[in-house]
Amino acid sequence: MSTQSQAFIAGAFEHPTRFAPDKSVAQLHAECARGALADAGLSIRDVDGYFCAGDAPDGNGPAMVDYLNLRLKHMDATEEGGCSYISHVGKAAQAIAAGKCSVALITLAGKPRSNKQATGTAYRWTGSERPHTVWEGLYAPTITAFYGMLTRRFMHERGATLEQMAWVKHSASLHAQHNPHALLQKVISIDEIMASPMVAEPMRRMDCCVITDGGGALVVTKPEIAKSLKRPLVGVKGYGDTIQIQGGNWNPFVESGAKYSGRDAFAMAGVTPADIQYASIYDNFTVNVLMQLEDLGLCGYGQAGQFAAEGNLIAGQGRLPWNTDGGGLCSNHPQNRGGITKVIEAVRQLRGEANAPVQVKDCELAIASGPGLVMGFGHAHATVILERL
């Protein structure tokens, strides 16, 4: 069932700040909400559906509803990590199609940079009752340690090289130089990336995303409302999400949930990977981009490294312009959750509102895709396919 005529993204807003020590997390949520609604030409009184995740203060969705003074018919606070907001686009489309709401607001915000969080080098789950903590907590594993092991295994199984992964960061920096809000606005050379300090062998610091404050918001509406607004029409054409389980620790270590969320999104949309003109792919680490490109079918298995090294991710040059805002690697990764910014940049591209040097000409079909939680063991994954109508 296509959602082409069932839901549209009418508003999108990315908070311009990357460092907000003077603001509360709730305030950032509210500023993002106000920005997305203004972009759509709507007000807080029009919202009757609200979607948030674990980044809401204390993970408390109802408290955000009260803070925003929303009068709702529907709410969803499903937590799936960084991809929650990609997933929420699909959930909002479903809720609208079912008549549960007409104007759905999705928000994300956080302040890890103000809180001096390091690049995934500290153990986060002290005192956690996650099922694996009793076995692994003793060794205090870190995010970078997981992705270092994942990088090594991906190189072994898929044939990628560290220099090819460096092309992912380099490509992101070529785009970020045109983004006045990007945290890193300097073009970063392959040599600079390869010479950056090791954080989790074989992964270097430049293979990691930035850490930023800020946030973003989206407004998803039913067709009648979208068509009454003075904004370009961006339809939610297909979506899919999944939980990639560990399978009793027998899961393929370097297979992401993109293989399944992408399959479902493409089937719903009735298009193929070859039809995609622009891609927003979650990029907390360079290896994640290569893995998802292959699992989504945007290039062949074992080919993503060479695909990136040939410049195919670079706008104005390559076959698949990617993360043209600079992505999480160079621009913004608010609250360590990059899902919402992926959808926002896809919307900009479809509207023709991306930064001029990286705008994809006549962009009509885009994908936004990414994981939540940590690759390499049980993680969520969501994909949406958007269309300019």
Q: Which domains does the chain show, CATH number per domain?
A: 7-114+214-233 (3.40.47.10), 141-211+238-388 (3.40.47.10)
Over residues 328-347, the mean pLDDT reads 96
Half-sphere exposure of residue 165, counting CA atoms within 13 Å on the CB side? 31
Cα pseudo-dihedral 371, 169, 386, 54, rounded to 10: 40
- Above 60 in pLDDT, residue 86? yes
Q: Which residues are CB-neighbours of 354 under 8 A, at least 6 positions away?
A: 324, 325, 345, 348, 360
In 3D, which of 334, 360, 326, 384 has the Cα closest to residue 9? 384
In this predicted structure, which of 119-123, 216-220, 339-343 has the lowest mean pLDDT?
119-123
DSSP conformation class of 359:
P
- Above 70 in pLDDT, residue 2? no
Percent of the chain with pLDDT over 90: 84
Half-sphere exposure of residue 260, counting CA atoms within 13 Å on the CB side? 12
8 A C-beta contact, residue 80 and residue 87: yes
- 3-class SS of residue 305: helix
User: Which pLDDT belongs to residue 1?
Assistant: 34
384-to-126, 339, 340 alpha-carbon distances in Å = 34, 11, 11
Q: For residues 208 and 205, what is the distance between their CA atoms, to the nearest angstrom?
A: 5
**Residue that has been written with the tokens 């999400």 in this structure:** 241
8 A C-beta contact, residue 289 and residue 307: no
8 A C-beta contact, residue 168 and residue 318: no
User: Which pLDDT belongs to residue 186?
Assistant: 96
- Above 80 in pLDDT, residue 118? no
In 3D, which of 56, 54, 7 has the Cα closest to residue 30? 56
Q: For residues 91 and 105, what is the distance between their CA atoms, to the nearest angstrom?
A: 11
**Residue that has been written with the tokens 């999944």 in this structure:** 242
Supply angle C-alpha 367, 213, 166, rounded to 5. 55
Cis peptide before 273 (omega within 30 of 0): no
User: Which pLDDT belongs to residue 353?
Assistant: 98
Confidence of residue 3 (pLDDT cuts 50, 70, 90): very low
**Average pLDDT, whole number, for the chain?**
93
In this predicted structure, which of 208-217, 275-284, 371-380 has the lowest mean pLDDT?
371-380
Helix axes 162-176, 286-295, angle to 10 degrees: 100
- Above 70 in pLDDT, residue 122? no
Number of neighbouring beta carbons within 10 Å of residue 129? 7
Helix (H) or strand (E) holding 215: strand 214-221
Residue 36 C-alpha from the chain's centroid: 17
8 A C-beta contact, residue 203 and residue 147: yes
The DSSP bridge partners found for residue 279 are 322, 367
User: Which pLDDT belongs to residue 296?
Assistant: 98
- Above 60 in pLDDT, residue 126? no
- Higher-confidence residue of 145 and 253: namely 145
Residue 183 C-alpha from the chain's centroid: 17
Q: Strand 203-204 vs strand 365-372: parallel, antiparallel, or unpaired? A: unpaired
Over residues 84-96, the mean pLDDT reads 97
In this predicted structure, which of 109-118, 338-347, 357-366 has the lowest mean pLDDT?
109-118
What's the pTM value of the predicted model, to 2 decimals?
0.95
37-to-42, 217, 280 alpha-carbon distances in Å = 5, 9, 22
Q: For residues 81 and 284, what is the distance between their CA atoms, to the nearest angstrom?
A: 12
Q: For residues 136 and 309, what is the distance between their CA atoms, to the nearest angstrom?
A: 36
User: Which pLDDT belongs to residue 140?
Assistant: 72
Each residue's pLDDT tens digit, 59-79: 999 999 999 999 999 999 999
